[in-house]
Amino acid sequence: MPPTALAAIVHQSALVTLADLKEADRENRQASIAESTKRAYAADLRRFCAWAEQHGFRGFPATAETVGLYLAALQAKGRKPATIKRALASICATHRAAGLPVPGDSVRVKAAMKGINNRAARLAEETGEPIRDQAAALSVADVVAMVTALPDTVRGLRDRAIVLLGVTGAFRRSEIARLHVRNVAFTEEGIRVHVMRSKTDQRGDGRVVGIVTQPNPRACPVRALTAYQEAADVAEGFLFRSITNALTVSERRISDVGVSRAVKRAAKAAGIEKQVGRISAHSLRASAATIAISKGKRADAVQRLGGWRSAVSMAPYIREGELFGDDNATVGLLG
């Protein structure tokens, strides 16, 4: 791989040119956006440009009128406001990065997006269907049922470790997928997990999570992780690996989607996927917060556990965790 412009500047500072500085500046701006976000932007822009071409419009750079029509097209397809908002964000980000006028800054597009939100809210009132498809938070009984239902195959052991580690550590699926063996240390109390980087920590400051050994052997992340590593013979490299249908453990790490599939597989094995609601990898993180709050853990301790940037961002989980707590106004209300 050829050296980057930044490397050239660092190692050959006496020969720095304006072209080197411009290229380094471009690389820095590119590095400010997570790779997963770049891929999402690119995919959204491709879909927009394909739609624009199909209807005789110019896709890039786009006019506010074209973008407004595209948002209406997404709405007509039944897309949720959050999906439409993300598509708009991708279109705006690519225009902004290119130094072009941003369609989303126009009064026309802002009004269109506000109207989409208002119409979705009115429809939700009429149908009772939530505007946002939020991942369901699991109860302790749900989690135990899921990990108990998994088989003791190498894939079942891996999925069990993923579920238990995700719930007790409040990890995002990307954090689970990118864990290395060296990021996890076994201690007398449990395990020490070093998350190198996350969605809200692109600089890589990292956070360390201490997970205590649980009394229930079948629901203990420490025991589950040990059993998986021994069965998969994983002693270095990525911790959670891709596993083939023949149950062969790959050298490649599990993908973010693979983590979601592991959670869904566990829910299906336990027969709770239809009873609980929409279960995904985010259910692990949501469950960590709601279960902890319901058990009387301090909100600031839960916030540190999951690396939430603010109390506001985890407020929905706090409300859910406190829903049937002692402070519920209906406790003992009728006798």
DSSP conformation letters of 226-280 = HHHHHHHT--SSBSSEEE-TT-PEEEEEPPHHHHHHHHHHHHHHHT-HHHH----
Kindly state the average pLDDT of the residues 195-203: 69
In this predicted structure, the answer to whether residue 315 has a pLDDT above a threshold of 70 is: yes
Least reliable range by pLDDT among 22-31, 76-85, 205-214? 22-31
CA 266, CA 272: separation in Å to the nearest integer? 9
5: confidence class by pLDDT, cuts 50, 70, 90: low
3: confidence class by pLDDT, cuts 50, 70, 90: low
Task: Kindly report, as residue ranges, where domains of CATH 1.10.150.130 are found in the chain.
Answer: 33-127
User: What pLDDT digit, counting tens, does each position of 32-58 carry?
Assistant: 666 777 888 889 999 999 999 999 999
Can you give the pLDDT at residue 129?
Answer: 63
- As its CATH architecture, domain 33-127 has Orthogonal Bundle (1.10)
CA 146, CA 269: separation in Å to the nearest integer? 7
- Name the DSSP class of 135: P
User: Whole-angstrom distance between the N-terminal and C-terminal Cα of the chain?
Assistant: 73
Can you give the pLDDT at residue 323?
Answer: 73
CA 155, CA 234: separation in Å to the nearest integer? 13
120: confidence class by pLDDT, cuts 50, 70, 90: confident
Please give the mean pLDDT across all residues of the chain: 86
30: confidence class by pLDDT, cuts 50, 70, 90: low
Kindly state the average pLDDT of the residues 79-106: 92
The residue length of the chain stands at 335
Can you give the pLDDT at residue 289?
Answer: 87
CA 95, CA 74: separation in Å to the nearest integer? 20
- Higher-confidence residue of 205 and 139: namely 139
Report phi then psi at 16, rounded to 5: -65, 135
CA 239, CA 310: separation in Å to the nearest integer? 29
Task: Kindly report, as residue ranges, where domains of CATH 1.10.443.10 are found in the chain.
Answer: 140-322
In this predicted structure, the answer to whether residue 27 has a pLDDT above a threshold of 70 is: yes
Task: Compute how many other C-beta atoms are within 10 angstroms of the C-beta atom of residue 328.
Answer: 11
The highest-confidence range among 16-30, 68-82, 271-285, by mean pLDDT, is: 68-82
Kindly state the average pLDDT of the residues 155-183: 94
Kindly state the average pLDDT of the residues 265-289: 86
111: confidence class by pLDDT, cuts 50, 70, 90: very high
Task: Compute how many other C-beta atoms are within 10 angstroms of the C-beta atom of residue 227.
Answer: 18
176: confidence class by pLDDT, cuts 50, 70, 90: very high
In this predicted structure, the answer to whether residue 112 has a pLDDT above a threshold of 60 is: yes
Nearest Cα neighbor of 143 from 284, 289, 256, 15 is 284
Class of domain 140-322: mainly alpha
Kindly state the average pLDDT of the residues 200-226: 85
Kindly state the average pLDDT of the residues 54-67: 94
